[in-house]
Amino acid sequence: MMKVTVLYGHPTDAAAFEDYYTRTHIPIAARIPGVARKEFTRFLAGPDGSRPAYYRMVELYFESEARLQASLGSPEALAAIADIPSFATGGAMVLIGAVQG
């Protein structure tokens, strides 16, 4: 299994981020073909009340590397990737990995 992880930095305006993210970006990203599973996380303060390193995380799982490559090359995935700068004022990091265990 393969996974794409997107880590979002803290936005300059959390309410604007959430509005755009839920109303516009997630519907665009939901069209990416071949996704086996999705997980969406909004990070909370640490046990000591400290600010988390990232604001949000998205994890998209794919059955194989071939499926991941085909999906990421699709027009739907390219549209989702191109949309990230529209709302991610805190930046975003995209990681690709092989799930183990």
Q: Which residues of the chain, if any, have pLDDT below 50?
A: none
For residue 84, the model assigns a pLDDT of: 96
Residue whose structure tokens are 């000591």: 48
| CA atoms within a 13 Å half-sphere pointing along the CA-CB vector of 84 | 18
pLDDT per residue over 35-58, tens digit each? 999 999 999 999 999 999 999 999
CATH assignment, 2-98:
3.30.70.100
Residue 49 burial class via C-beta count within 10 angstroms: exposed 0-12, middle 13-18, buried 19 and up: exposed
Alpha helices by DSSP H, 1-101 = 14-20, 26-29, 65-72, 75-83
Indicate the domain borders of the chain.
2-98
For residue 101, the model assigns a pLDDT of: 81
